[in-house]
Amino acid sequence: NTGFAWKDGEEIYTKICAYCHEVQVGPQIRNRELPAAYIREIVRNGNRAMPAFRYAEIDDESLAKLSEFISQTQSKH
């Protein structure tokens, strides 16, 4: 009887990131080969207009999957 947990990187992207990064609120981040360390830095600290996301929202393992999804160059969201 546990609560919600993320399935994979695509789910996190679709249900959080895409709401800004696919509608020109934030810059495009897919297909840019952004390094995982950079993504992690921005997600955890926020960046100017972008809010930060906590470990409680996206745990480290999920964040790694998210980074992998974002940096994939083949598939388009």
Partner 1 sequence: MASKYIALPKGVSEKDFDAAINNFRKVLSDDAVLTSAEQLAPYIKTMMPVADAEHTPSAALLATTVEQIQQIVAICNQYKVPIWMISTGKNLGYGSAAPAERGQVVLDLKRMNRILEVDKDLAFALVEPGVTYQQLYDYIKEHKLGLWLSMPAPSAIAGPVGNTLDRGVGYTPYGEHFLFACGMEVVLANGEVLRTGMGSMPNSNTWQVFKWGYGPYLDGIFTQSNYGIVTKFGFWLMPEPPAFKPFVIQYQHEEDIVEIVETIRPLRISGVIPNAVVIAHALYEAPVKAKRSDYVSGPGSIPDEAVDRIMKDHKLGIWNVYAALYGTQEQIDVNWNIVTQAFGKSGKAKILTEQEAADDPAFVYRAKLMRGEMTLTEFSLYNWRGGGGSMWFAPVSQARGSETLKQMALTKQILAKYGLDYSGEFIVGMRDMHHIVDVLYDKTDPEQTKAAYQCFDELLTEFSARGYGTYRVNTAFMDKVAETYGPVQRKVHKTLKKALDPNGIIAPGKSGIR
**Binding interface with partner 1 (CB under 8 A):** 1-4, 15-16, 19-20, 23-25, 44-57
Decide if 36 is catalytic: no
User: Smallest distance, Å, CB 2 to partner 1?
Assistant: 7
Ramachandran angles phi, psi of 50, nearest 5°: -85, 130
The minimum distance between CB 74 and partner 1, in angstroms, equals: 26
Q: Which pair of tokens denotes residue 24?
A: 């020109």
Of 36, 49, 52, 64, the catalytic one is 49
Distance CA 25, CA 18 (A): 10
Check if 52 is active-site.
Answer: no
C-beta neighbour count of 16 within 10 angstroms: 16
| Residues noted as catalytic | 49-50
